[in-house]
Structure 1
């Protein structure tokens, strides 16, 4: 569909929602990560800016407690607890809720560095291929899409139901490494990484997109978010905000100088816009 026509259709879809807004609309969002203050996090700020750009100002109301990603998807909808969430997409998740197919983190969650003890990190320095990497075990969360991605590539995965326990499992030798996104790993190393280090010279990469999701019963909200993101991209505000929040992490990661082991992502829906390089980060 031509871009101009697409923009007009999105604007038309948003009109009923915008017209109904006297005061800013309250949007309920989940507390899905311990990182940073939720309302000042990148995805929350981007959501506010996108909806403002679409003419639909909002105030965000996070849940007081952490909510697992799969449970958050079940809570979407007018008669449930949440209006919008952001999480990694998969075929299953796109069946549960409406994705807005703009990768918010430009694929950063598919660029993975490895946390490990210094002893394991020394052994992993020599890893050159996926076959060699398969000799090591990886710890991951029980409900995380990444768990299935790593397993589909022949990697041994130790599954944990507890986020905090994953770091302990590395220190206890129950798993060798913990693949974490560039956006997460430095913060986690500072707060949970006692006795751990980032494996040098090595990086995993698979295509992965984190989208905003809304209930399928909320097409006007979905259209407003999509329209706002398109306007932010066109103005350069999207990329400016991305670098403000992630530029330091990317500089510290030095992805361009690392050995990259590519993995396939069988959970990725065919509608993922991999054909639009402007939407993705490349080192």
Structure 2
């Protein structure tokens, strides 16, 4: 299928949504992270701009409470408390809801730095291979896809049901390190990282995509989001917004000067667009 024909198909699919007149369509989105105000987060702003580019102005309405990722996916289904969410994809998640297969963070959540105590950070800085990394314990969330990815690579993972408790586990020596994305780690270090440090010299990398998801019963909404993202990529707005929100974190991380420990991600669908380098960030 040519790109032009695909664009026409997406435009036709989005037409019922885009042609509505009057007030912007209200879209319910989840509060999925303690970082920043949801309605002005990067993913929310990008969603707003993408749908505007597709001809469908929207008003985003975040939930008042924090919603775990797996529960948010369920809320797209029969309960229908949500219209759109964004989360890391996996084969299992793509069976629960309809993904829009554009990695909105350009794979940034697969670039991981490590939080650790100063003493552990000094030792981990010498790690060169996954085998050496297995000597350390890594704490992760109970239902996070990253947990399964790290475990699939044979790493020593300690699972925690509580986000706040993970930082405490590091300080108490119950886990050695907490792998965090470049987009998260500096904010977390400032707010939760008393007595902790970012491990120098190394970073982990595995292919990881965060997609927008909608209910299977909303193909027109999925098509409108995909069309809008395509148009933002074409006119440069996508990359400009990405760098506006993440450029400072990337500059601070200095990924290009770190030793990269490559890991595999067996949770990815075969439909993940890994063959399109323009969709992914590389240092």
TM-score for the superposition, normalised by structure 1: 0.99
Query: What is the CA-CA distance between 1:18 and the residue it aligns to?
Result: 1.7
Structure 1 runs (4+) greater than 2 angstroms displaced: 19-22
User: Which sections of structure 2, spanning at least 5 residues, go unmatched?
Assistant: none
Say what the alpha-carbon RMSD is for the aligned residues: 0.8
Residue 190 of structure 1 aligns with which residue?
A: 190
- Kindly indicate whether residue 140 of structure 2 is the aligned counterpart of residue 137 of structure 1: no
Cα 1:176–1:57 change in 2 (3 A) is same
Residue 59 of structure 2 aligns with which residue?
A: 59
Residue 26 of structure 1 aligns with which residue?
A: 26
Residue 180 of structure 1 aligns with which residue?
A: 180
**Distance in structure 2 (CA, Å) of the matches to 1:162 and 1:258:** 30
Greater CA deviation, 191-200 or 75-84?
75-84
Structure 2 counterparts to residues 9-158 of structure 1, below 5 A: 9-77=9-77, 80-158=80-158
Residue 244 of structure 2 aligns with which residue?
A: 244
Give SS of 1:228's match: helix
The answer to whether the 8 Å contact 1:21/1:56 transfers is no
Instruction: Count residues with an aligned counterpart.
Output: 283
Query: What is the CA-CA distance between 1:77 and the residue it aligns to?
Result: 4.4
The answer to whether the 8 Å contact 1:207/1:265 transfers is yes
Query: What is the CA-CA distance between 1:78 and the residue it aligns to?
Result: 7.5
TM-score for the superposition, normalised by structure 2: 0.99
Residue 210 of structure 1 aligns with which residue?
A: 210
**Distance in structure 2 (CA, Å) of the matches to 1:251 and 1:128:** 23
Residues 141-175 of structure 1 deviation map (CA, whole Å, 9 limit, x = unaligned):
00000000000001011100000000000000010
**Distance in structure 2 (CA, Å) of the matches to 1:200 and 1:187:** 17
